[in-house]
Amino acid sequence: MMTLDRGVHQRTRIPRTRPYPPRASTPLGPCVQAHPRNRRNVKLGTLLLIFTFACVACFGSAYYLFRTRWGTLPDHLRALYADSAPFEANTSICDDNTHGRRAPIDPNERFLAYLPHSGFNNQRIAFENALVLSRILNRTLIVPPVRLGDKPVPYFPLDRLSRTLALAEKNGLGHCAHVPPGLSTPPECSDYFDFSHIPWDWLIDLSLVKSKQKLLCRWSFAEGWFNDILGISENQTFLMRDHNLYHYRFVDNVGSSNRNNGYLEDVSIDALVQRKQKLLLFGSLFGSARLQFHREEHLEMRREIREAMLIAHPILNRISTSISKALGDAYLAIHLRASESKFERASEPNSREIWWTLIHQFLNLTLDDTSRLERIIQNNERGVTAMELNRLNSPNRVPLNDTERSALDMASGSVCPRSQMYASAQSLLGNNPPLLYIATDLRDTRNHPLLLRFRAFFPCTFDLSNFSSHLTLLNQLVNPVDGLPLRRHFLPFVDALIASKAVRVAGTRGSTFSYYIEDILWRRNHDLPIKQRGTF
């Protein structure tokens, strides 16, 4: 092996054949002087050493400033914690005992965990199912935070989803939120601003839930978290590995289960009760029909948990209430989702179905009159099919009663001009057109083609863009975990709350967000029992 130790590879000079020139005398006397070439080499070496040291020092200083100046949240962001979180920090399920330190665990305590994915409402449904399962199984539920943003983590089977969630964390990236303006974004921060994680109890009051079962927050999906924080090894863990989104369904009566439900396999809850492993780890728990119950105590437990899933953030409720009052507390509302690819493809039939719900179901026009109005508005000669008409039927979609019609009429009063289209139906609908609130993910709501049919018939339509002054409170909401503003993430919740306060609301078919508004928020606001999807 070749070595670079000094002296191993010495270069041998060829002896000189010419004599050296005589040394010149100097004022310093006959001392020996270095050869000029050697002096130059020494100078170059010294300069190179100084340059190297300077580079290392500069790099070290820059790295230190980079990690210390931006790596910690400023005090003014931490001061906003009280405004960002609706409840006291010491009541949150996400406290410091799960941030990298082993939590104090009862040796007899057993746990249930799952992996979240997709948008907010799919995460909410999975959370509801996890709460129900963990309470039935008498296990502490390990709760991941809510991921808010435009780029949700899609569903994958358990192992891949676990790796994907671990790669999507923000641990060690606190500096990304505080890079000064004018500097390029570091590559590790490329998707930092696309999403934000918050604890569930920043949005939802879990006081009742926590009084009946134990919850433990999980901020990290890093491999080894269960062992590092809870001391649970792999051989103490039972994995429910799923291979597609609708793999497992959990039932409390296997023999009576309906097999024609889209799930590949039924799992008996009684069998899960018998599991002795310290941890049950599931992949996806999303699905309104994921839990199929016959036992009354299980049905009641699920109803109680679903009823608790109300948005309870004080600032969001304050804003939505002020806007509802500005609308006179008497208006109709729609919730139209049309931006995401799934809903964009069906946006035209969905918006038409919502319009028909308003006119035919809520305002109680006949089929002929509703079809005639539609032809006037959009020159649509097709009419409505029996299948489309059947789709309009819903427990929430019943005609307005006299009291509700009177309230709508008073709220609109002299505020709303009568449109030409409304005048054609005035004898059927009354003197004043109802106010209409449009909750939607569409941009340019004033000119979007999907909304023209609504604006043509309802001259007084409103959306969030009409209430900018009411939304200024959102500007103070900052997530102290990652330093990101929460305004854009919270706007859809304000929209949903306003729609849920309407006299009637019509949502988008197939949207879990619309179902959340119609089945839970709207019905709770009107003192009605919630609607439970996925029951026998």
**DSSP track, 68-115:** HHSSS--HHHHHTHHHHSSS-GGGSS--GGGSSSPPP--TT--EEE--
Q: Tell how strand 332-336 and strand 504-506 pair up.
A: parallel
136 and 272 both lie in a single domain? yes
Element (H, E) at 42: helix 36-69
203 and 265 both lie in a single domain? yes
The Cα diameter of the chain in Å comes to: 126
Q: How far apart are alpha carbons 356 and 334 in whole angstroms?
A: 11
Determine, yes or no, domain membership for 331: yes
Beta bridge partners of 281: 113, 239
131 and 218 both lie in a single domain? yes
**What is the DSSP secondary structure assignment for residue 516, as one 8-state letter?**
I
349 and 295 both lie in a single domain? no
Residue type, 307: E
Measured at the alpha carbon of residue 245, what is the angle toward residues 244 and 249, in degrees to the nearest 5? 100
Determine, yes or no, domain membership for 430: yes
Determine, yes or no, domain membership for 43: no
In the chain, the number of structural domains is 2
117 and 247 both lie in a single domain? yes
Element (H, E) at 334: strand 332-336
Determine, yes or no, domain membership for 517: yes
477 and 336 both lie in a single domain? yes
* Residue 256's CATH number: 3.40.50
Determine, yes or no, domain membership for 76: no
Contact by Cβ (8 Å): 534, 288? yes
Residue type, 321: T
Q: How far apart are alpha carbons 373 and 361 in whole angstroms?
A: 14
Q: Tell how strand 111-113 and strand 140-143 pair up.
A: parallel
457 and 472 both lie in a single domain? yes
Q: How far apart are alpha carbons 367 and 386 in whole angstroms?
A: 11
End-of-domain residue from the set 272, 291, 307: 307
Residue type, 90: N
Q: How far apart are alpha carbons 258 and 246 in whole angstroms?
A: 15
Beta bridge partners of 279: 111, 237
**What is the DSSP secondary structure assignment for residue 345, as one 8-state letter?**
H
Per-residue pLDDT of the chain (536 residues), as tens digits, is 444 444 444 444 444 444 444 444 444 444 445 556 666 676 677 777 777 777 666 665 554 444 433 333 344 334 433 444 444 433 566 764 455 556 667 888 999 999 999 999 999 999 999 999 999 999 999 999 999 998 999 999 999 999 999 999 998 888 898 888 888 889 999 899 999 999 999 999 999 999 999 999 999 999 899 999 999 999 999 999 999 999 999 999 877 666 657 899 999 999 999 999 999 999 999 999 999 999 999 999 999 999 999 999 999 999 999 999 999 999 999 999 998 888 989 999 999 999 999 999 998 888 888 888 888 777 644 544 544 444 544 445 566 776 766 666 666 654 565 555 555 555 556 667 789 999 999 988 888 999 988 988 888 899 999 999 999 999 999 999 899 999 999 999 999 999 999 999 999 999 999 999 999 999 999 999 998 876 65
Determine, yes or no, domain membership for 48: no
351: Cβ–Cβ under 8 A, 6 or more apart, which residues?
336, 338, 450, 451, 453, 454
319 and 381 both lie in a single domain? yes
**What is the residue range of 373's domain?**
314-525
End-of-domain residue from the set 253, 285, 307: 307
Element (H, E) at 336: strand 332-336
End-of-domain residue from the set 307, 326, 342: 307
Look at the pTM and tell me if it is higher than 0.85: no
Determine, yes or no, domain membership for 532: no
Closest C-alpha to 284, from 301, 309, 263: 263
Determine, yes or no, domain membership for 356: yes
440 and 475 both lie in a single domain? yes
Q: How far apart are alpha carbons 372 and 366 in whole angstroms?
A: 10
297 and 351 both lie in a single domain? no
At residue 341, the pLDDT reads 82
134 and 242 both lie in a single domain? yes
361 and 510 both lie in a single domain? yes
